[in-house]
Amino acid sequence: MKRTVFLIDMESFYVSIEKSFYPESRGKPTVVSGDPKRRSGVILAACPIAKKYGIQTAERLWEAQQKCSDLIIIKPKMETYMKVSVHITDILYRFTDLVEPYSIDEQFVDVTGCLHAYESVDALAEMIQETILAETGVFARIGIGDNKLLAKMACDRFAKKRKEGRFTLRKEDVPVHMWPLPIRSLFGVSTRMERHFHNMAIRTIGHLAQSPLERLKKKWGIPGHVLWLSANGHDDSPLAELTADGEAKGIGHAMTLPRDYDSFTEIKVILLELCEEVASRARQSKQLGETIQVFARGANYEQPFSFLRQRPLPQPSHYSLDLYEVAVSLFQQFWSGQPIRQIGVTLTKLSSDRARQLSLFEVDTGRKEQIGRTMDTINNKFGKASIIRAVSMTAAGQAKERAKKIGGHYK
């Protein structure tokens, strides 16, 4: 049986939700944007009317205001958007049990096994659109294909340009619809890769598809082979199953600082807060980590500076101060002293905390466990940051402010 996969993408997701709360914004150019006073004045979503002015996602708010002086600006409510996204996932599970959330506003579904219950593939897609619109007020575009790649290409390159918001791209249609597209349109091709392809006289997806495979493998190895397969419409990747015991490769948290941090004393406060966040998430997922990664990026764009380094812990742990001790030492070793704009901590090489190797030299493991679990219980019951380290109350601390946010934006 031919496989049928949908990529369901919500049109102007954040703005569509907000327009239901702000009737005065209907029919007017509207954007959802972060707070410009905290370096987050970036367009997160723009309605179709705003896009007609040339306003694009990820551009600076002040630039968008120059294009449209009467632009309606709404601050994001990430908690609301996440709830609607989960609701949409629940809707999709009514049609099939093969659902893979790809992002907050995109989800893959494999409908191969349920097509017999519907008049046609298009009829099922239309029913999904109508259900999502009726229950959430958001219009969904649907790309239909034999695999995830073709569904994604069908949605991004064709469905979004059609009034009905649907398009089907089968393997046999790849030469007609995909090959004439510029090479940058192929999923997985970055701006840098596009330049490399242009230097090789490969300017369209068709050029790549018809290039000698050995030439691509010789230059890029496996990635070159994968892109050649993609250009020919091949993709055997299954939908990722949602399970409670997901096999995460790491648990990390990063943040963009509200101002430049150039004092090691202040940076240590942020490192401690990040380690608290990562350790709490590790405990909740019942996992220990063996290695700490620290990432930092400088604030000077003209003289870019960044590093990503890792170091093993003395023993597997999910206790914040164990993580913090190694993270601080790692950061201090590789920091050049330049002001920092972004910083992150990741715990990797995870394993279950249900069984662990005891150390003859670690005598307070049980006490650490109890402290961590107690802090988790208090914060879960009374709200995030109900109990925090004293240094987080200093000017450098961001824990209380981050507790008000989801995904870097206010709830």
- Residues forming the annotated binding site for Mg(2+)? 9, 105
**371 is written with which tokens?**
């402290």
CA distance 373 to 386: 14
Which of 100, 106, 273, 277 does the annotation list as catalytic? Answer: 106
* Cβ(269)–Cβ(392) below 8 Å: yes
- For residues 173 and 154, what is the distance between their CA atoms, to the nearest angstrom? 11
Residue 343 burial (CB count, 10 A):
23
Q: Which residues lie closer than 8 Å to 395 by C-beta, 6 or more apart? A: 266
Report the distance separating Cα 374 and Cα 352, nearest Å: 20
CA angle 208/210/216 to nearest 5° reads 55
Contact 140, 167 (CB under 8 A): no
Q: What residues are designated binding site?
A: 9, 105
Calculate the alpha carbon distances from 275 to 121, 261, 341, 399 in Å. Answer: 48, 18, 18, 11
How far is the C-alpha of 321 from the C-alpha of 310, rounded, in Å?
17
Residue with tokens 């309605």: 47
Structure tokens at 115: 């097509």
Q: Helices 264-284 & 365-382, crossing angle to 10 degrees?
A: 90
Q: How far apart are CA 173 and CA 232, in angstroms?
A: 10
With beta carbons less than 8 A apart as the criterion, state whether 262 and 339 touch.
yes
- Written as one letter, the residue type at 11 is E
Handedness of CA 261, 335, 253, 352 (dihedral sign): negative
Q: For residue 278, give both structure tokens.
A: 């990562």
- Please confirm, yes or no, whether 135 is among the known catalytic residues: no
Q: Which residues are catalytic?
A: 106
